[in-house]
Amino acid sequence: LYLYYFEGLSVIEIAETLSIGEENVKSRLFRGRKKLRTILQPESRKKGIIE
């Protein structure tokens, strides 16, 4: 997630940097977003950000 959102690398650039396939990068981004969402949801509900 860091390379994609904060460093601005594309999926292709991340794949080349980590020496993995593009589909693997996409899967990792998906799983990372999902995990981050589950971590942040309880706190967001307390603050009324997410209904």
As a whole number of angstroms, the distance between CA 36 and CA 38 comes to 5
**Domains in the chain, number:** 1
According to the model, what pLDDT value does residue 25 have?
A: 99
Determine if the pTM surpasses 0.85: no
Over the stretch 10-41, which tens digit does the pLDDT of each residue have? Answer: 999 999 999 999 999 999 999 999 999 998 88
Has residue 51 got a pLDDT over 60? no
Has residue 47 got a pLDDT over 70? no
Q: What stretches of 1-51 adopt beta strand conformation (E)?
A: none
According to the model, what pLDDT value does residue 40 have?
A: 85
Domain interval for residue 9: 2-47
Q: Say whether 8 sits in a helix, a strand or coil.
A: coil
